[in-house]
Structures are given as structure tokens and as C-alpha cells.
Amino acid sequence: MADDGRQLKPAAAPRSAADDEAFKRELVQLIPHLRAFARTLCGDPAAADDLAQDAMMKAWDARASFQMGTNMKAWTFMILRNQFYSEKRRSWRQSQLDQEAAERTLVAVDDPEAPVALDELRQGLTMLPPEQREALILVGAGGFAYEEAAEICGCAVGTVKSRVSRARRALHAILDEGNYDRDGASAGDAMRSILADAERLSTVR
């Protein structure tokens, strides 16, 4: 592969062992983040690690095209995401959710600062459309700026902003409905029927 590269692009400076070493060091530091992002895409930890490994190797093979000093984290996340979608890997089972109805049923909670249960959050995330989920994860958990997330997802910055904001509202609605249910207080009928529908649809198949 190195020989081919030299023949095709004779003007390019040859890659030194030091370049590879620097690239590898940075790539190794990104592995935990690639695993975390893959986990949010795949749901299943083993499938996520397969995806993260494939993305890591794709990045390594493409190292000649990476400009050192630019954002390697965003670059590798983009590779991982493309890999995921190009192979149409198995994702979380998508629950059905009438998002607009969910957002309309936003309810007040007793204590808005009360901690959110982790399993409820995971469940809530599965109910979001995939493009909203990934936008929210990248910006809300991955620490990417909207511009970087837009680059990773291959869409406009405004699109990312709107996906993140819709995802936040929907998640809020989903989670707080859950809180009301658990407390035994009366739950919004609209939301309950949506969830029942979602359950029915996912078991019928």
C-alpha cells in the first residue's frame, strides 16, 4: 500500500515512521471515545466494539489522508458513522413515537433538578429518530460543537441545531412522563397511549 501511494502521488512527501507513530498515539487515545459513540449507535456492546474496531482500522489505513493537527476526533467519528450507515448495521430497535404529540405533553415535574434514571434515559434514547439521537449524543455528550457535529453527520449546521433541540424536547417529554408513572400520579393519557402503541407495534412484528 505504501508503494502504491508513492507511485500514484510522487510529489507527496513520504510518510515517515515518526508520522505513523504520532498518528497511532493520537488514535489510541481516541479509542475510548470511538467505543462510546459506537455504543450509542449500536446499543449492543459487542456489536459496538466490532464497529469501533473497524472504524479504528479504517482510520489507520487512511492515515495518509489525515492532516495532522486537525481534529482527529471528528475525523474518526465521521469514519465510524459512515461505516455504521454504509453497512446498515443492526441498530437499536426503533420504537414508534409520535414526537409532536410527545412534545405537546411536556409536564411539570416536582423537582426539575432530580436525577434522571440511567435506564430510563437509555430507553428514552431508543425512542428518538436515529438522526436526532446521534446529533444529541455528539453535541450533548461527545463535546462537539454544532459545526463539528454537522461535519460528522454530513449536514448543515442549522439541521444539527434543530435535531438537537427536538431531541432534547422529546427526551424531556418521554422521561418526565416516566417519572409521573412511577410516582403513581396521574399520567397524561395521550402519552400513555403513545407508549402503549409503541409497545404493541414492537411486539406485533
Partner 1 sequence: MDEARLRQQAIGVRLRQMFDEVVNEQVPDEFLEILRRADSRSSENG
CB 122, CB 188: distance < 8 Å: no
Q: Is residue 172 within the footprint of partner 1 (CB under 8 A)?
A: yes
Cβ atoms within 10 Å of 157's Cβ, excluding its own: 14
Which residue, 149 or 171, is less far from partner 1 as judged by CB?
171
Which range binds partner 1 by CB under 8 A, 92-100, 147-155, 170-178, 183-191?
170-178
Q: Is residue 40 within the footprint of partner 1 (CB under 8 A)?
A: yes
CB 157, CB 138: distance < 8 Å: no
Q: Is residue 39 within the footprint of partner 1 (CB under 8 A)?
A: yes
Which range binds partner 1 by CB under 8 A, 16-24, 66-74, 91-99, 148-156?
16-24
Distance CA 159, CA 148 (A): 12
Minimum Å gap between C-beta 203 and partner 1 is 26
3-state secondary structure of 73: helix
Site for partner 1, residues 66 to 105, rule: CB under 8 A: none
Minimum Å gap between C-beta 179 and partner 1 is 10
Minimum Å gap between C-beta 10 and partner 1 is 16
Distance CA 130, CA 143 (A): 18
Distance CA 19, CA 24 (A): 9
Minimum Å gap between C-beta 137 and partner 1 is 7
Q: Is residue 32 within the footprint of partner 1 (CB under 8 A)?
A: yes
Q: What is the DSSP string of 26-85?
A: HHHHHHHHHHHHHHHHHSSHHHHHHHHHHHHHHHHHTGGGS-TTS-HHHHHHHHHHHHHH
Residue type, 192: R
| Site residues (vs partner 1, CB under 8 A) | 1-3, 15, 17, 20, 24, 27-28, 31-33, 35-36, 39-40, 49, 52-53, 56-57, 60-61, 106, 108-109, 112-116, 118, 121-122, 136-137, 140-142, 168, 171-172, 175-176
